[in-house]
Amino acid sequence: MAFGLLSSIIPGTGPVVDLYEGPANKLTVGKITIGSKNYNPSRIQIGYRDGPNIRYFEYNRYIKYGEVIETENLYIGAGQKLVVRSTESDVNFLFYGLTSNDIINPVRSGILQHTLSTGAVKQALYTAPGGSQSKVTVSICNLGPDPATVKLGLSDGGLNDFGSTEYLDFGFQIGPGQTYTRPDIKLGAGQSLIGFSNPGSKVTFLCHGQLFYEVSGLPTSDDFVVLGNSRFDGNLGVGRSATTKFDVLGDAIITSSAKINSVNYNEDIDNVRNIRSIGISTFTGDLNINGNLKINSTSQLTVKSKDIVLGFSSETVFTATAGAGSTIIENCTPTDDLIVGAPLTLTFPAGLNIPSGTKIVSIASSTVYLSDVIGGSGTYEDAQFLIGDATDEMANDGGIVIKGTTDKSILWQTTTGDFNFSHGATFHTGRLHIVDSDSKITIGTTDVITKDKVLGKSIINEIVTETDSELYIPTARAVTVRSRKMSSEQYFLTSSW
């Protein structure tokens, strides 16, 4: 945003020269100060370029040596060119003011409309667009050789709605080459400025100003809209009264680095690289982390729900750049649910196809490598893929890894359909329950215990049957023991195979 001195020039005598051009997507509001260092009186002109024509804010106004003239605020929109002219040398034009963002409104601010009046026919000088509130300045110039009488009004609707009670100015005179300026007229949506002059006159009405919309903040609205950065020393409530430093009722999107409560999130593009907890933060909704979640060595991860779900996936559609004959798709979006091993189907376009059972092999940012070659012909930037539900392949080698001198892990593997313990397990209390014929305890390649076998030997009915006075083992060679219970060690010592 520019602020202060915007441009200055001492033009030579002759044609108009450019003083200032409105920057792209900006509204410039400023004043021109004119000072004369020439002993001869000079006529000055201030206007803007309208194609091959010049339209005037000031027309043939006289300025004497040592005199200073300053205009009212001029509103210059993006790409609009402010021009000046002097009939004498050593006349200085200085434009100062500020620029503001004007990219979001459906109709832009600046120079709004130019109208020529040569008689007593009423004309709509400017009508505020629907949904807007406008602050309009009217610069009225007499381009004729004689004094002109001008009337100006404000209609609650269009030209046909203008009534005798709605005049702003009635019958004031403007001398030849002189200008009358009426600043900051406020118009509601659909309201119009009406103007006309006496017969035989040549009067121009130049409307310039600023438009306000709900999207950028209406002057009458309770909403406070900020199009750039904001800084608050106190509390800020969004959707409710502020009870904490930042209180949001509804969704929030954070696309760069953020510090939430007492947790630091350092985000690199789509990946949250480091999370450093220095206090307690509460999330009542879902928290999606596309990168690694790291917890320092002195902290704990506490989960109060009944389960932890690993390898979760749901059906998701994403788009990518895909071409026939390749196993690579690029520019994938969104990338949140891309998981190695996830099954894919191609839903668009018909010109491409992928074999049934195609899966994601690896992922590098927004580039995905597939297990099969894409068939068909052509390359498409808007190809659509559907990620299927979770599969056993996605779950392969999923589990818990504890880092140490060597990794200690509990991982599920597709080759066996079992959880693989890299180290032994000790049961201090409780029991290990084998519930069906597919469940077993294996050491190396040997099935030690299954539902109905121990070391490969079948158990008839039960291993032991208790009676009131003895423990009975129902085999061909029964052994009676004088206690009600027998340990597994006793069982193996007393049994003869």
Structure-model confidence comparison of residues 160 and 396, the more confident one: 160
* CA 280 – CA 290 distance, rounded (Å): 21
Average pLDDT over residues 151-180: 94
Q: How confident is the model at residue 255 (pLDDT cuts 50, 70, 90)?
A: low
Domains 3-101 and 110-213 share a fold: yes
Nearest to 50 by CA among 154, 169, 204: 204
pLDDT band at 312 (very low <50, low <70, confident <90, very high): low
Predicted local confidence at residue 388, as pLDDT: 81
Q: What is the pLDDT of residues 314-371, one digit of tens each?
A: 668 899 999 999 999 999 998 877 888 888 999 999 999 999 989 898 888 889 999 9
The candidate with the shortest Cα–Cα distance to 351, out of 371, 381, 317, is 381
Contact 9, 89 (CB under 8 A): no
Band the pLDDT of 264: cuts 50, 70, 90: very low
Which CATH number is correct for 3-101, 3.60.20.10, 2.60.120.260, 3.40.30.10, 2.40.40.20? 2.60.120.260
**pTM above the 0.75 mark?**
no
CATH class of 110-213: mainly beta
The domain spans of the chain are 3-101, 110-213, 231-299, 319-390
CB atoms within 10 A of CB 82: 24
Concatenating the DSSP letter of every residue in 61-114 gives EEE-TT-EEE---EEE-TT-EEEEEESSSSEEEEEEEEEEE-SSSSS--EEEEE
How far apart, in whole angstroms, are the C-alpha atoms of residue 88 and residue 10?
10
Mean pLDDT, the chain, rounded, equals 83
Q: Is the pLDDT of residue 162 over 80?
A: yes
d(CA 10, CA 291): 60
Q: Is the pLDDT of residue 313 over 90?
A: no
Identify the CATH class of 319-390: mainly beta
Report for 68-82, 212-226, 283-297: range of highest mean pLDDT: 68-82
Q: How far apart are CA 80 and CA 103, in angstroms?
A: 15
Six-digit token string for 27:
């509204």
H/E segment holding residue 493: helix 488-494
CA 446 – CA 143 distance, rounded (Å):
108
Sign of the dihedral defined by the CA atoms of residues 66, 72, 73, 74, in that order: negative
- The whole-number pLDDT of residue 315 equals 66
Which residues have CB under 8 Å from 425's CB, separation 6+?
A: none
